[in-house]
Amino acid sequence: MSLFSSDHKAVARRYLWSGLGFLLLGGLLALLIRWQWAYPGQPVPGLAWALPESRGALTPPAYTAVFTMHGLIMIFFAVTPLLFGALGHFVLPLSIGARGLAFPRLSVVGFWLYALGGALVLGSFAVRLGPASAGWTSYPPLSTPAFTPGLGQTLVTVAVLCAGASAFLYGLNFIVTVVRCRAPGMTWGRLSLTVWGLFFASVLNVLFVPVLAAATALLLMDRLLGTQFFIAGAAAVGGGGDPVVYQHLFWLFGHPEVYILILPAWGMVGDFVAFFSRKPAHGYRLTAGAMGTVTALSGLVYAHHLFTSGMSPLLGRTFMVLTLLISLPAEVMYLNWLMTLWRGSVRLTSPMLAALSTMIVFGLGGITGLSLGAVATDVPLHGTLWVVGHFHLTMGAASFLAVFAGLYFWFPKMFGRALHEGLAKAHVLSSAVLFLGVFGGQLAAGYAGQLRRLYDPYQYTYLKHLLPLNQWTSACAFLLGAAQVLFIVNLVWTLARGRAVGANPWKVGTLEWTCAPSPPPAWNYDPVPEVLRGPHALSQPEVLAQLGRDWMGQAEPMPDAAETEPGPVDAEEPGRVSTSGGAA
């Protein structure tokens, strides 16, 4: 299969390998940060080749580049590409019964834009003065040439534009695909929750990534053309621009971005708890509605990132109320997941363990964010490791574990081989526990006041006592890094000689498992299936009675079709409970 194949499954595989590569790179950079906080200024074992002058020790300039690139790589080149590029491209058309994406060639362009961005990121490590170092947020004036002169900052700015263009393209592609290319009978109420999550997140991509692109393009003009959109005060020759405008533009994208990273994860959790509790999702419509509400609100809460920027009290109060409001739909969704487990028949497969782990880390991450949403309690915590721990639990740990939930779930469909369950479970469990160690440690250090991005926190007297805590946290981080070997071994071994699987190893009813072999052929479905029911038709008594199994394909007719053909009226009838929860 050529590198330019426009089959959505081939594009997905390209994103998968590059995303995993960048995940490894971003993870190694994170370990460097953790090393620095545990052993400040001491040589990093094995890094002398990269930093010969300091014999491998991180210098302050190197350190700023490391944390900047960790953030940018993880968000734009690892987690988003894995969630959307790999899982989204693979699952979305299959799950709705489409024979491909609406714009196959656009998805190829999107991947190569992303690849170009990735190449620029990698290249930036080789240029004089190193890669970007102004923080992943790239706040001007720091990110302008007066304060960060290197070519690396420019290259990475262009790379972010490339990744943004790619995200916009697949966002658009996914939206059109879901709206236009669903199989006959695949009503909106029969979409899997994963597709709902991907769909809502794609809407956010299309709405808000252009905002980032605008801000980044203006910043690039400030860097290259001498404009002063974001320069003000003494640093500007003529004044005029305003750095705060950039902050607003950036976070107008930046906060929806965290929902872009978590909505597909929510969708997968919703599906997997239903699949592996062997029962329909509790409150399917409520859950999809809650995800939609979060999507609608997500562009209206961003300014809580700017509570300390001196914004007007009116704005501060407004964003405080809106921010707290967004926790309501999240709670509804979370309770629905819990209710799905209840009275189910829980099977602790590797995707289920990963989904449950996602629930746990996301729950902790969400709850620790409440105090950041109110202005008064944000003040002591703003800019500390509390914030870092909070958002890493949600968009780091939760998204990571959801990526692996999805990967463990769909890997057999992607490659026709089953990963080793024991290794997969060990990987998920150890990662989840160590994530809690790492980000729990960061929450604790942040609560005690440790500020983000400090090369050496311990020069502050009031932070000196946190060294042992940080060393423990770093130990968890190193172990977390080591635990990923379990996945790599599993992956390599499975691809080489893993057990071949049939079409439906998980015994669930969605189209990709019930209407296509593993892996699916080039055009997915021939003929295109006619969908008869929702994605979670599990443990239905009539199916158990007639077929002797607890699952039913979405497009599988009942042996006595006339009796069970669902009509549209069913959904509205309160007495017929089995029609909700995605069973219909």
Partner 1 sequence: MKVLPAGSSSGALFASVPPSSPPPAHVPAVAPGTSTTDTPRDALVPAVAPGTSTTDAPRDALVPAVAPGTSTTDAPRDALVPAVAPGTSTTDTPRDALTLSLPEDASTHGHRIDELLASSHRFDAVLIAVALGWLVLAVWRFHQAKQAASDGGTRRSRAWVLGLALGAFAVVDGSLLLGSEGYLRDVLWNFHVPAEDPRTVRIEINAHQWSWEARYAGADGRFGTPDDVVTWNDLRVPVGAPVWVQLVSTDVVHGFSLPHFRVKLDAIPGRVNQTWFQAAREGAWEAACYQHCGTSHYRMRGVLTAMSPESYATWLREAGKQATQAYDAEDLAAHWGWEWKAP
Nearer to partner 1, 299 or 383 (CB): 383
What is the maximum alpha-carbon separation in the chain? 80
Nearer to partner 1, 100 or 241 (CB): 241
**Shortest Cβ 550–partner 1 spacing (Å):** 7
Distance CA 389, CA 436 (A): 9
Pick between residue 24 and residue 332 the one whose CB is nearest to partner 1: 332
Which CB sits closer to partner 1, 462 or 523? 462
Whole-number Cα distances in Å, 239 to 52, 225, 242, 383: 41, 16, 8, 28
With beta carbons less than 8 A apart as the criterion, state whether 156 and 550 touch: no
Rounded to a whole number of angstroms, the minimum distance from the CB of residue 285 to partner 1 is: 9
Least distance to partner 1, CB of residue 523, Å: 33
Determine if residue 366 is left, alpha or beta; phi over 0 gives left, psi from -120 to 50 gives alpha, anything else beta. Answer: alpha
Smallest gap from residue 527 Cβ to partner 1 (A): 30
Gap between the Cα atoms of 158 and 113, Å rounded: 11
Cβ neighbours, 10 Å, residue 43: 15
For the record, the structure tokens of 500 come out as 């071949």
Q: Would you state the structure tokens that stand for residue 520, as one six-digit string?
A: 């699916």
Q: How far is the CB of 9 from partner 1 (least distance, A)?
A: 31
Cα(240)–Cα(314) distance, rounded to whole angstroms? 25
Among residues 23 and 303, whose Cβ is nearest to partner 1? 303
Whichever of 184 and 380 has its CB closer to partner 1, that residue is 380
Q: Would you say 207 or 367 has its CB closer to partner 1?
A: 367
Rounded least distance, CB 426 to partner 1, Å: 18
Q: Minimum distance from CB of 224 to partner 1 (Å)?
A: 19
For 125, residues 6+ apart whose C-beta sits below 8 A from its C-beta are 69, 131, 152
Phi, psi (rounded to 5 degrees) for 373: -85, -15
Read off the tokens for 546.
Answer: 């007639």
Amino acid at 369: G
Positive/negative CA dihedral, 580, 278, 99, 567: negative
CB-wise, 454 or 475, nearer to partner 1? 454
Task: Name the minimum Å distance from CB 26 to partner 1.
Answer: 18
